Structure 1
Amino acid sequence: MPSTWKCVRGSSWKPEFVLPPGASPRRRPLPSTWRRMSSLLPGDPMQPSRLTTATRAGVMLASVALLTGMFLWLRPLQPVQGEFLVFGTRARIQLLTSSSDDADAAFQDIGRLFIHDHHTWHPWEPSEITRLNDALARGQPYRVPEDVADLIRRAQVGYAQTEGLFNSAAGRLIGAWGFHTSRYPVQTAAPTDGEVKQLLSEKPGMDDVHIAADGTVSATNPAVSIDINGLSEGYASAQVEQLLARHGIHRALIYLGGFVMAVGPADAQPWRVGVSAPAGVLGSIDLAGGESLASSGDYQRHRASSADLGHIVDTRTGWPQRASAATSVLSDDPVFADIAATALMVAGPSGFQRMADHMQMNCALLLGHDGKLYITPGMRARLHTNLPSNRVQIIPRPTQSCGPGDAAARRPVVVPTDF
């Protein structure tokens, strides 16, 4: 006759064993498995046995270990901040962690990573990138490290996504305008019209670049000069995210130049971050875990002769773009956001709709030099701003969803093992 369980509610919940009607309590035979196990145990298997001293000690040690683990798990997360100088700009990383030792170890690794990235990716100081460009100018192939190869492949994707507006092969043109420097505003002489026309006639593009499986890079156009500054902040932020995960840290806010990345679960408390503009701050956005906000502008890095000759060059005209004052793109893919913010600067207000459609860019804004804000519905719903509505123009998109999307599907970046 089967038995049943019920819960009796009093001062607390507890299980009560109930016999079926008419049944009397009696000792039932053990299953064969229990009989075999009981032969290995002292005393009657149906009666409580006495614990030996060794057993009691083991139970006490296990209890202490369990309580210690629970204490560590329940410790509140504390904010810890670290600052670094990389790519000629300041990086600030805010961690939420219960262990200062984990934070210290993570910051040590991040510092070493930034040193590696700086000396490997630099577009004008001696680096793997400059050695690659020297080889390409001679018509020779050059094998690059895995992270550089990955950066170049992503730059090729960005070139295709933006219909050539994001062109990492135009390093010579960028250098000719004096933007291969960390000192702004740029004081050097601007290139002549003839020099600009000559550089344009060479037509370097990322479709001229080829990468073998072993990381050997070659180019069919000797005018190709790789400059990956336009995606380095998003890529490096993703590297930091992966490093933090190795140290068991899963909540953080990463500031790197004009780039901000929130690390953590999407349903965690969001981080409120500012959206920059030439006049200061345009507004703020609540950044959820897994989201990145890439911002670009011509108001900090520009030529001394004119504030609207910023460091982002339109490779179609050969001149610094003058269409946009600032852009911001929100995405769950940090490299995509970085590329899109740069391309949108070049596209300008007249090209915003086409670029948004082509890149499936649902959360973006562009501030024109006339002070007018062009913005997608998804970004408008997220932006806290006091800008009057008569200075806002909505750029239609089929969805207002900014993400984060499926962050697990995002292809991880390469974190070098030898830094």
Structure 2
Amino acid sequence: MKKILFIILISIIFCNISAQDISYARSIISELSSQKFHGRGYKDGGIDSAACFIENQFKEIGLKPIEKTFFQEFNFPTNIFHHIKLAFDEKLLEPAIDYLPNIHSCNVSDDFLTIKIDEKIRNNPKKLNKLIPKIKGKVLFLNRFETKDKTALNWYDNVAISNPYNAAGIIVLDSSFTYNIAEYYPQFTHFLIQLAPKSFPEKNVKKVHCEIKKDYVKNFPAKNIVSYLQGQEYSDSFIVITAHYDHLGKLENNIFPGANDNASGIAMMLDLAKNIKQQNFRPRYSLVFIALTGEEVGLFGSKYFVDNPIIDLKKIKFLINLDMVGTGSSGISVVNATIFKEQFNKLKQINDDNNFITNISQRGAACNSDHCPFFEKGVPSFFIYTTGKEFNEYHNTKDKADSIPLTAYEGLFNLIKLFIYSF
């Protein structure tokens, strides 16, 4: 009987599925990744402007706050770069384009002589031991890109982070080029910089000029944005949709737009809220939509929410976390699929019946996005992200709204919508 009712319900919902308008999602992604939000980081008010924008979207959709305000305010520690400059032999390099500073770097303003360790030196103990006493106080170039050997890569990483030879600064030449602002280590006594492959020097650099001015802010003010839509039957039991809205900010005048990561997830969350609010028949369970912050620096927003919940976590029927849903040529991946097999099988069956997504891959538990703190508190949850090689920009300045393909966006939207209604 329950299955028959669900089939009837799906038929009713399908009458309105065509009303889903991808132009709304694109407008949200375009707005959040625009220059005026400064990369949704912790400098120049970008993150606060983004929070107010999302709050206004919740209001326009017609959602309600759970408490007196949509904002759940808290603090977390973070580093903020105020100024950065790097030059090789008087040639000025462009931050975020040519190089990326490590968030744990020390403040500095000086000129330095240089020294280099490549694979020829690293693999020759005699040469390496002869070189080591000369490193102190200089800028050390590490040619990490020259090897794929795991042991060698770990050696380069250990030298870059622990700085055992007391270099004034370390510049890593590597094949990857992605920015990260997560807090993993204590503040360094050296500066650490990653160089873009296209900016590798053609000849040995004799002198490096480096300026870094940053602050470690122990209590940066932040806010999650939480809204509520009452369910058809259960007002105090919830399906929760989460997505983080913070990103990497900017270095000097170069912003990290964060269109896929994670303006796309926020767009889908808002799109679902808008669409379901317009339906004549709501889901049985109430819906809670949470725009989380502090994800990029260490899942701080989701950690704070589960430690200070404004709804009973035990009454969350299921949680869906959306992070990077702007591709999809090869389908989607579902983290926690092997943990919550019944819910995954239901999700997959809905897709099999409707051919929304080309492929649904199942993954086990992984603490790689904002579902994790909820999951660790016993909340059944999925983290869903799209997969595909049609757009590979990640944590760089090219993750732009006009480039994001949204290949599987409509299919994923409809899949999640029917999954919500299936409870």
For normalisation by structure 2, the TM-score amounts to 0.25
Q: Which structure's residues are more often strand, by fraction?
A: 2
Which fold has the larger relative contact order, with Cα–Cα distance below 8 Å and residues 6 or more apart in sequence?
2
For normalisation by structure 1, the TM-score amounts to 0.25
